[in-house]
Copies of this chain bind each other. A is one copy, B any other.
Amino acid sequence: MLSFGERLARAVAEKESMLVVGIDPRLERLPAPVLDASRRLYGESWEGAGNALLRFGQSVVEAVAPYAVAIKLQIAFYEMYGWWGLKAYAQIAAYARELGLLVIGDVKRGDIASTAEAYARAHLGEVPLPSGRVTPALLNVDAVTINPYFGTDGIMPFLQEASARGRGVFVLVRTSNNSARELQDLRIEGTGELLWERVARQVREWSVALGEGSGAGQEGWSLLGAVVGATYPQDLERARELLPGHWILVPGYGAQGATAQDAVRACRPGTGLGALVNASRSVIYAYEEPRFMEGRKPSQWARACADAARAARDELRAASRES
Protein backbone atom coordinates (compact mmCIF):
# COMPACT_ATOMS: atom_id res chain seq x y z
CA MET A 1 0.00 0.00 0.00
CA LEU A 2 1.38 3.40 -1.03
CA SER A 3 1.54 5.88 1.86
CA PHE A 4 -0.61 8.98 1.63
CA GLY A 5 2.43 11.26 1.20
CA GLU A 6 3.65 9.21 -1.77
CA ARG A 7 0.16 8.92 -3.22
CA LEU A 8 -0.13 12.69 -3.10
CA ALA A 9 3.29 13.17 -4.76
CA ARG A 10 2.28 10.88 -7.60
CA ALA A 11 -1.11 12.60 -8.08
CA VAL A 12 0.37 16.12 -8.08
CA ALA A 13 3.10 15.13 -10.56
CA GLU A 14 0.70 13.31 -12.92
CA LYS A 15 -1.86 16.07 -12.93
CA GLU A 16 0.72 18.87 -12.84
CA SER A 17 -1.54 20.58 -10.33
CA MET A 18 -1.18 21.56 -6.69
CA LEU A 19 -4.68 23.04 -6.58
CA VAL A 20 -7.14 21.93 -3.92
CA VAL A 21 -10.68 23.25 -4.27
CA GLY A 22 -12.43 23.92 -0.97
CA ILE A 23 -16.13 23.18 -1.26
CA ASP A 24 -17.50 25.22 1.65
CA PRO A 25 -21.04 26.07 0.57
CA ARG A 26 -23.24 28.75 2.12
CA LEU A 27 -26.81 28.08 1.13
CA GLU A 28 -27.61 31.76 0.63
CA ARG A 29 -24.89 32.09 -2.03
CA LEU A 30 -25.76 29.00 -4.09
CA PRO A 31 -26.84 29.57 -7.70
CA ALA A 32 -30.59 30.14 -8.16
CA PRO A 33 -31.01 27.08 -10.43
CA VAL A 34 -29.68 24.82 -7.65
CA LEU A 35 -31.90 26.33 -4.95
CA ASP A 36 -34.96 26.34 -7.23
CA ALA A 37 -34.59 22.68 -8.15
CA SER A 38 -34.22 21.63 -4.51
CA ARG A 39 -37.25 23.69 -3.52
CA ARG A 40 -39.35 22.14 -6.29
CA LEU A 41 -38.48 18.64 -5.13
CA TYR A 42 -38.46 19.04 -1.35
CA GLY A 43 -40.24 22.30 -0.55
CA GLU A 44 -38.99 24.30 2.40
CA SER A 45 -37.25 21.61 4.41
CA TRP A 46 -34.02 20.29 5.87
CA GLU A 47 -34.06 17.63 3.18
CA GLY A 48 -34.21 20.41 0.59
CA ALA A 49 -31.24 22.15 2.19
CA GLY A 50 -29.22 18.91 2.17
CA ASN A 51 -30.20 18.27 -1.44
CA ALA A 52 -29.06 21.77 -2.47
CA LEU A 53 -25.66 21.23 -0.81
CA LEU A 54 -25.31 17.88 -2.55
CA ARG A 55 -26.30 19.10 -6.04
CA PHE A 56 -24.00 22.08 -5.72
CA GLY A 57 -21.10 20.00 -4.44
CA GLN A 58 -21.43 17.35 -7.12
CA SER A 59 -21.54 19.96 -9.89
CA VAL A 60 -18.46 21.70 -8.50
CA VAL A 61 -16.63 18.38 -8.26
CA GLU A 62 -17.38 17.61 -11.92
CA ALA A 63 -16.37 21.11 -12.99
CA VAL A 64 -13.02 21.17 -11.19
CA ALA A 65 -12.03 17.50 -11.56
CA PRO A 66 -9.77 18.13 -14.60
CA TYR A 67 -7.80 20.87 -12.82
CA ALA A 68 -7.65 20.09 -9.10
CA VAL A 69 -5.71 17.27 -7.46
CA ALA A 70 -8.03 17.20 -4.45
CA ILE A 71 -11.09 18.74 -2.91
CA LYS A 72 -11.28 19.93 0.67
CA LEU A 73 -14.62 19.84 2.46
CA GLN A 74 -14.95 22.27 5.36
CA ILE A 75 -17.27 20.18 7.51
CA ALA A 76 -18.63 23.21 9.44
CA PHE A 77 -20.75 24.23 6.47
CA TYR A 78 -22.30 20.76 6.39
CA GLU A 79 -22.73 20.49 10.18
CA MET A 80 -24.95 23.57 9.95
CA TYR A 81 -27.52 21.27 8.36
CA GLY A 82 -27.17 18.48 10.89
CA TRP A 83 -27.53 14.96 9.56
CA TRP A 84 -28.86 16.21 6.23
CA GLY A 85 -25.68 18.21 5.76
CA LEU A 86 -23.37 15.39 6.84
CA LYS A 87 -25.01 13.02 4.40
CA ALA A 88 -24.32 15.51 1.59
CA TYR A 89 -20.71 15.77 2.83
CA ALA A 90 -20.24 12.00 2.56
CA GLN A 91 -21.92 11.79 -0.83
CA ILE A 92 -19.82 14.62 -2.27
CA ALA A 93 -16.67 12.93 -0.91
CA ALA A 94 -17.64 9.61 -2.49
CA TYR A 95 -18.39 11.25 -5.84
CA ALA A 96 -15.06 13.09 -5.87
CA ARG A 97 -13.19 9.85 -5.23
CA GLU A 98 -15.08 8.20 -8.09
CA LEU A 99 -13.76 10.98 -10.35
CA GLY A 100 -10.20 10.31 -9.20
CA LEU A 101 -9.80 13.22 -6.78
CA LEU A 102 -8.32 12.94 -3.31
CA VAL A 103 -10.62 14.17 -0.54
CA ILE A 104 -9.46 16.14 2.50
CA GLY A 105 -11.92 16.47 5.37
CA ASP A 106 -11.23 19.85 6.93
CA VAL A 107 -12.49 18.86 10.35
CA LYS A 108 -9.79 20.29 12.67
CA ARG A 109 -10.65 17.76 15.36
CA GLY A 110 -8.56 17.31 18.49
CA ASP A 111 -9.17 15.67 21.87
CA ILE A 112 -7.76 13.31 24.51
CA ALA A 113 -6.58 9.90 23.30
CA SER A 114 -9.76 7.86 23.74
CA THR A 115 -11.82 10.52 21.98
CA ALA A 116 -9.20 11.16 19.30
CA GLU A 117 -9.41 7.47 18.52
CA ALA A 118 -13.17 7.82 18.01
CA TYR A 119 -12.63 10.78 15.68
CA ALA A 120 -9.89 8.93 13.79
CA ARG A 121 -12.20 6.00 13.22
CA ALA A 122 -15.09 8.30 12.26
CA HIS A 123 -13.11 10.11 9.57
CA LEU A 124 -10.33 7.74 8.45
CA GLY A 125 -11.25 4.30 9.69
CA GLU A 126 -13.77 1.59 10.46
CA VAL A 127 -16.42 1.35 13.17
CA PRO A 128 -18.24 -1.58 14.79
CA LEU A 129 -21.91 -2.25 14.07
CA PRO A 130 -24.21 -3.73 16.78
CA SER A 131 -23.10 -7.28 15.86
CA GLY A 132 -19.45 -6.36 16.39
CA ARG A 133 -18.65 -6.55 12.67
CA VAL A 134 -16.58 -3.52 11.57
CA THR A 135 -17.28 -1.53 8.44
CA PRO A 136 -15.78 1.64 6.88
CA ALA A 137 -17.19 4.74 8.57
CA LEU A 138 -19.71 6.85 6.66
CA LEU A 139 -17.66 10.07 6.84
CA ASN A 140 -14.48 8.44 5.49
CA VAL A 141 -12.04 10.64 3.57
CA ASP A 142 -8.40 10.39 2.41
CA ALA A 143 -7.00 12.85 4.94
CA VAL A 144 -8.12 15.14 7.75
CA THR A 145 -6.88 18.31 9.44
CA ILE A 146 -6.31 18.14 13.21
CA ASN A 147 -5.52 20.51 16.09
CA PRO A 148 -2.28 20.08 18.12
CA TYR A 149 -3.37 21.62 21.47
CA PHE A 150 -3.64 18.23 23.25
CA GLY A 151 -0.09 17.12 22.36
CA THR A 152 1.17 13.67 21.39
CA ASP A 153 -1.49 11.44 22.93
CA GLY A 154 -4.23 13.32 21.07
CA ILE A 155 -2.34 13.01 17.76
CA MET A 156 -1.22 9.37 17.82
CA PRO A 157 -4.65 7.76 17.27
CA PHE A 158 -5.00 9.72 14.02
CA LEU A 159 -1.50 8.73 12.88
CA GLN A 160 -2.05 5.08 13.69
CA GLU A 161 -5.34 4.96 11.79
CA ALA A 162 -3.82 6.87 8.86
CA SER A 163 -0.76 4.67 8.78
CA ALA A 164 -2.77 1.46 8.83
CA ARG A 165 -5.06 2.56 6.03
CA GLY A 166 -2.99 4.67 3.62
CA ARG A 167 -4.56 7.90 4.80
CA GLY A 168 -3.11 11.29 5.69
CA VAL A 169 -3.22 13.85 8.50
CA PHE A 170 -2.50 17.60 8.38
CA VAL A 171 -1.68 19.21 11.72
CA LEU A 172 -2.57 22.89 12.21
CA VAL A 173 0.78 24.66 12.55
CA ARG A 174 0.35 28.29 11.46
CA THR A 175 -3.21 29.27 10.62
CA SER A 176 -4.17 31.88 8.02
CA ASN A 177 -6.28 34.21 10.18
CA ASN A 178 -5.32 37.60 11.63
CA SER A 179 -5.28 36.62 15.28
CA ALA A 180 -3.28 33.45 14.59
CA ARG A 181 -0.34 35.34 16.02
CA GLU A 182 -1.89 35.73 19.49
CA LEU A 183 -0.94 32.22 20.59
CA GLN A 184 1.02 30.83 17.66
CA ASP A 185 3.66 33.59 17.69
CA LEU A 186 4.34 33.52 21.41
CA ARG A 187 8.05 32.96 21.99
CA ILE A 188 8.95 30.04 24.20
CA GLU A 189 11.37 30.63 27.05
CA GLY A 190 14.74 28.98 26.71
CA THR A 191 14.50 27.77 23.12
CA GLY A 192 13.94 31.00 21.19
CA GLU A 193 11.25 29.21 19.18
CA LEU A 194 7.81 30.56 18.44
CA LEU A 195 4.94 28.29 19.46
CA TRP A 196 4.10 27.41 15.85
CA GLU A 197 7.75 26.52 15.16
CA ARG A 198 7.63 24.21 18.16
CA VAL A 199 4.51 22.57 16.75
CA ALA A 200 6.31 22.17 13.39
CA ARG A 201 9.20 20.48 15.18
CA GLN A 202 6.72 18.19 16.93
CA VAL A 203 5.23 17.25 13.56
CA ARG A 204 8.67 16.11 12.46
CA GLU A 205 9.16 14.16 15.69
CA TRP A 206 5.79 12.48 15.30
CA SER A 207 6.88 11.25 11.87
CA VAL A 208 9.96 9.73 13.45
CA ALA A 209 7.80 8.08 16.11
CA LEU A 210 5.71 6.61 13.30
CA GLY A 211 8.81 4.89 12.01
CA GLU A 212 9.14 7.12 8.97
CA GLY A 213 12.75 8.01 9.73
CA SER A 214 13.85 11.61 10.18
CA GLY A 215 10.62 13.22 9.13
CA ALA A 216 10.58 11.18 5.92
CA GLY A 217 13.93 12.75 5.13
CA GLN A 218 14.72 14.69 1.97
CA GLU A 219 13.53 11.79 -0.15
CA GLY A 220 10.11 10.44 0.65
CA TRP A 221 6.98 12.15 1.86
CA SER A 222 5.41 11.61 5.25
CA LEU A 223 1.72 10.74 5.69
CA LEU A 224 1.79 13.58 8.19
CA GLY A 225 1.53 17.11 6.83
CA ALA A 226 1.07 20.60 8.19
CA VAL A 227 -1.38 23.46 7.65
CA VAL A 228 0.45 26.78 7.16
CA GLY A 229 -1.43 29.83 5.89
CA ALA A 230 -0.21 31.62 2.75
CA THR A 231 -1.15 34.90 4.41
CA TYR A 232 2.24 34.71 6.23
CA PRO A 233 4.59 33.99 3.27
CA GLN A 234 7.84 34.25 5.24
CA ASP A 235 6.49 31.70 7.72
CA LEU A 236 5.66 29.41 4.82
CA GLU A 237 9.32 29.39 3.78
CA ARG A 238 10.42 28.76 7.34
CA ALA A 239 7.91 25.91 7.64
CA ARG A 240 9.35 24.29 4.50
CA GLU A 241 12.81 24.33 6.14
CA LEU A 242 11.47 22.87 9.38
CA LEU A 243 9.48 20.18 7.56
CA PRO A 244 11.56 18.90 4.65
CA GLY A 245 9.63 15.68 4.12
CA HIS A 246 6.11 16.90 4.79
CA TRP A 247 3.28 18.14 2.61
CA ILE A 248 2.05 21.61 3.50
CA LEU A 249 -1.61 22.37 3.03
CA VAL A 250 -1.81 26.08 2.29
CA PRO A 251 -5.03 28.01 2.90
CA GLY A 252 -5.32 31.74 2.33
CA TYR A 253 -4.82 31.86 -1.46
CA GLY A 254 -7.58 33.73 -3.31
CA ALA A 255 -10.38 35.22 -1.24
CA GLN A 256 -8.18 35.49 1.87
CA GLY A 257 -5.68 37.65 -0.04
CA ALA A 258 -2.46 35.67 -0.59
CA THR A 259 -0.99 35.41 -4.11
CA ALA A 260 0.19 32.35 -6.03
CA GLN A 261 3.78 33.59 -5.55
CA ASP A 262 3.20 33.58 -1.79
CA ALA A 263 1.64 30.12 -1.80
CA VAL A 264 4.32 28.30 -3.81
CA ARG A 265 6.94 29.20 -1.22
CA ALA A 266 5.70 26.04 0.49
CA CYS A 267 7.14 23.87 -2.32
CA ARG A 268 10.34 21.89 -1.91
CA PRO A 269 12.70 24.09 -3.94
CA GLY A 270 13.03 23.13 -7.59
CA THR A 271 10.51 20.29 -7.50
CA GLY A 272 7.02 21.82 -7.72
CA LEU A 273 6.09 19.32 -5.00
CA GLY A 274 5.26 19.73 -1.33
CA ALA A 275 2.52 22.36 -1.41
CA LEU A 276 -1.21 21.76 -1.69
CA VAL A 277 -2.79 25.13 -2.27
CA ASN A 278 -6.42 25.59 -1.37
CA ALA A 279 -8.83 27.97 -3.08
CA SER A 280 -12.41 27.99 -1.87
CA ARG A 281 -14.56 31.06 -2.38
CA SER A 282 -12.65 32.31 -5.45
CA VAL A 283 -13.52 29.08 -7.29
CA ILE A 284 -16.85 27.86 -5.95
CA TYR A 285 -18.55 31.27 -6.20
CA ALA A 286 -16.92 32.24 -9.54
CA TYR A 287 -20.43 32.57 -11.09
CA GLU A 288 -20.96 35.68 -8.95
CA GLU A 289 -18.35 37.47 -11.09
CA PRO A 290 -19.70 38.81 -14.41
CA ARG A 291 -16.41 38.10 -16.24
CA PHE A 292 -16.91 34.37 -15.69
CA MET A 293 -20.57 34.40 -16.84
CA GLU A 294 -20.20 36.34 -20.08
CA GLY A 295 -22.27 34.71 -22.83
CA ARG A 296 -23.55 32.05 -20.42
CA LYS A 297 -27.02 31.22 -19.09
CA PRO A 298 -27.56 31.04 -15.29
CA SER A 299 -27.88 27.26 -15.61
CA GLN A 300 -24.27 27.18 -16.85
CA TRP A 301 -22.88 28.47 -13.55
CA ALA A 302 -20.61 25.45 -13.05
CA ARG A 303 -18.60 26.41 -16.15
CA ALA A 304 -17.55 29.53 -14.25
CA CYS A 305 -16.17 27.30 -11.48
CA ALA A 306 -14.30 25.23 -14.07
CA ASP A 307 -12.75 28.36 -15.60
CA ALA A 308 -11.74 29.71 -12.20
CA ALA A 309 -10.20 26.36 -11.23
CA ARG A 310 -8.24 26.15 -14.48
CA ALA A 311 -7.00 29.72 -14.03
CA ALA A 312 -5.92 28.99 -10.45
CA ARG A 313 -4.12 25.80 -11.47
CA ASP A 314 -2.30 27.63 -14.27
CA GLU A 315 -1.36 30.51 -12.03
CA LEU A 316 0.06 28.18 -9.38
CA ARG A 317 1.89 26.13 -12.02
CA ALA A 318 3.49 29.23 -13.50
CA ALA A 319 4.42 30.64 -10.10
CA SER A 320 6.05 27.37 -9.11
CA ARG A 321 8.13 27.26 -12.35
CA GLU A 322 9.31 30.82 -11.83
CA SER A 323 10.22 30.35 -8.17
* Most B C-beta atoms less than 10 A away, residue of A49, A118, A132: A118
Whether a CB of chain B sits under 8 angstroms from the CB of A165 is no
**Complex alpha-carbon distance, A36 and B148, angstroms:** 39
Does A39 lie at the interface of the complex (its beta carbon under 8 Å from any beta carbon of B)?
Answer: yes
Q: Indicate with 1 or 0, residue by residue over A29-54, a CB within 8 angstroms of chain B CB atoms.
A: 00000010011000011101100100
Q: Which residues of B contact A79 (CB under 8 A)?
A: 118-119, 122-123, 139
Q: Which of A178-186, A266-274, A296-304 contacts B (4 or more CB under 8 A)?
A: A178-186
Give the size of the chain A interface in residues (CB under 8 angstroms). Answer: 77
| Cβ of A127 to closest chain B Cβ, rounded Å | 5
Question: How far does the alpha carbon of A149 sit from the alpha carbon of B152 in the complex, in Å?
Answer: 16
Q: Are A127 and B81 in contact (CB under 8 A)?
A: yes
List of B residues within 8 angstroms of A24 by Cβ: 115
The smallest C-beta distance from A236 to any residue of chain B, in angstroms, reads 16
Q: Given the interface contacts A28-B132, A44-B131, does A76 sit within 8 Å of B149 by beta carbon?
A: no
Docked Cα-Cα span, A301 to B48, in Å, equals 40
Q: Whose C-beta in chain B lies nearest to the C-beta of A50?
A: B83
CB distance from A191 to the nearest CB of B (A): 9
A172 within 8 A of B: yes
Q: Give every chain B residue within 8 A of A150 (Cβ-Cβ).
A: 175, 177, 179-180
For chain A, residues 244 to 262, give those with C-beta under 8 angstroms from any C-beta of chain B: 251
Q: In the bound complex, what is the Cα–Cα distance between A138 and B85 (angstroms)?
A: 10
CB-CB contacts below 8 Å: A90-131 with B: 90, 108-113, 115-116, 118-119, 121-123, 127-131
Q: A154 within 8 Å of B by Cβ?
A: yes
- Seen from chain A, the residues whose Cβ lies within 8 Å of a Cβ on chain B are 24, 26-28, 35, 38-39, 44-46, 48-49, 52, 74, 76-77, 79-84, 86-87, 90, 108-113, 115-116, 118-119, 121-123, 127-133, 137-139, 147-154, 172, 175-184, 186-190, 195, 198-199, 202, 251
Extra A-B contacts (7), CB below 8 Å, given A77-B115, A86-B86: A80-B121, A80-B137, A82-B122, A82-B138, A149-B184, A152-B182, A186-B195
